[in-house]
Structures are given as C-alpha cells and as structure tokens.
Amino acid sequence: MKLLVGLGNPGAQYAGNRHNIGFMAIDAIAAAHGISGWKSKHAGLLAEGSLGGERVLLLKPQTFMNKSGDSVQQVARFYKLIPADIIVFYDELDLAPGKVRVKVGGGNGGHNGLRSIDPQIGLDYKRVRLGIGHPGKEFVTHHVLGDFAKADKAWLDPLLDDIGRHAGMLLKGDDSGFMNKLALATKGSDEAKPEPKAQSHIRQARQAKPQAELPRSGPMADMLHKLFGKGE
C-alpha cells in the first residue's frame, strides 16, 4: 500500500490558493481513478482506492499546513507504512510555474508542511515539488496564500490532469518518466505568441503606393497624382 499526501490548508477560503496545489493534485488523482468515499480520519480527509492495480490511500491533512505531519504520522502509524511508502505533493516557490521535480529525501526548503512532516516520519519519503514561481521575498506570503490567476489555468489545468493520469508511474518508481509526461503537458503554455508589429498612426493613415508605374505627364497623370499624390 502507498500513501499519497497533498498539502494545503482546509476551508473554502483557501481552496484556490497556490499553497493548496497539493490538495488539487490529490483531487485530480482521485478523479482520474474513480476514488471517492472521503472520510474524516486521522486529522485529515482520507480515501482508499486502487491506482495502477495497487492499493492506495489518498490524504489531505486538515490540520493546517504547519501541522501537516500530525495527520501524516497518524495514518502512517495506523497502516504501518514506512517513509518509502509515502509520496507528498506540495507547492514549490523555487520552481517556475508548472515545473515539476520529484526527489526522495532532502531538506524542507523552508516549507512549513515538510518542516512538520520530517521529524515525525523521517526524511526518506518521495516529494513531488509543484512549481508556483517566486514573487520576491517580500511578497511570498501574499503569493502563496493568493489564488491562482485566471491566466494560470493555461498550465495548471493540463498539469493537474496529467498528474492524475500518470500518478501510477510514481508508484512504479518511474520518477523521470512522470516528470517527462508532465513537462509535455505544459509545453508551450509559457511561450508567448509574437505580437503583430504595430504600425504608427501616420503609416496606417498613409495611402499605399500604386504598384504600377504612374504616367509622368498627360491628363491621366494629373488625375492619378490627385488621387495618390506625387511619388516620394
């Protein structure tokens, strides 16, 4: 059995926050694999199902972010899970929006959720870092506790869809393959389309030059010169 944990804050007011992308990832996995029947247990919302033929538990701690470890530890102890059985999805400031990195072990990077989990279950669990971008040190709190912008849906929706679709690769240990699939899902979402070259109001107002050469003299030349002006 594997335990997949999404980190976030409980309550409708936080549901769209960047800090809650871990919850969003778990919901996407549940939707993709028909996992439902959420129950309030072990200080979290817990659901059980199957993913790629393997039994899994999905957990969204309801303890608020800085006490996430309380819920994770309770579930791990009850089901006798070791860190290698646990996968945690969370927001990562130090990755560009839509970028994903997977690793086992390491530091908490200042993330309060990991800071709570690490001392309670150990460090050797799998971490799925979901990039939300860094706004600058003085804006971090507002950024992580702010909702995703409408423009973010261009990369967020396909990212979450593919997390749900390909989560089984994480259970099989194919972390590189999982990251590649997600990179393809968001490819091009951050590539701005070239803007059409603006014309000055002077150029827009100016009459186009006729393609044929104008007669130099005579009645026809006089008429055309009145219509198009004399050549520059």
**Active-site residue set:** 19
Tokens of 157: 């929706």
d(CA 15, CA 228): 63
d(CA 214, CA 222): 10
Tokens of 162: 């593919």
Cβ-based neighbours of 197, under 8 Å, separated by 6 or more: none
CA torsion, ordered 158, 161, 166, 171, to nearest 10 deg: 120
In whole angstroms, how large is the CA radius of gyration of the chain?
28
Tokens of 148: 């995703």
Letter for the amino acid at 71?
S
Q: Which residue has the tokens 């899902």?
A: 185
d(CA 7, CA 19): 8
Among candidate residues 178, 181, 184, 167, the one with its CA nearest the CA of residue 27: 167
Neighbours of 46 (CB within 10 A): 23
Instruction: Give the Cα-Cα-Cα angle 81, 34, 57 (nearest 5 degrees).
Output: 10
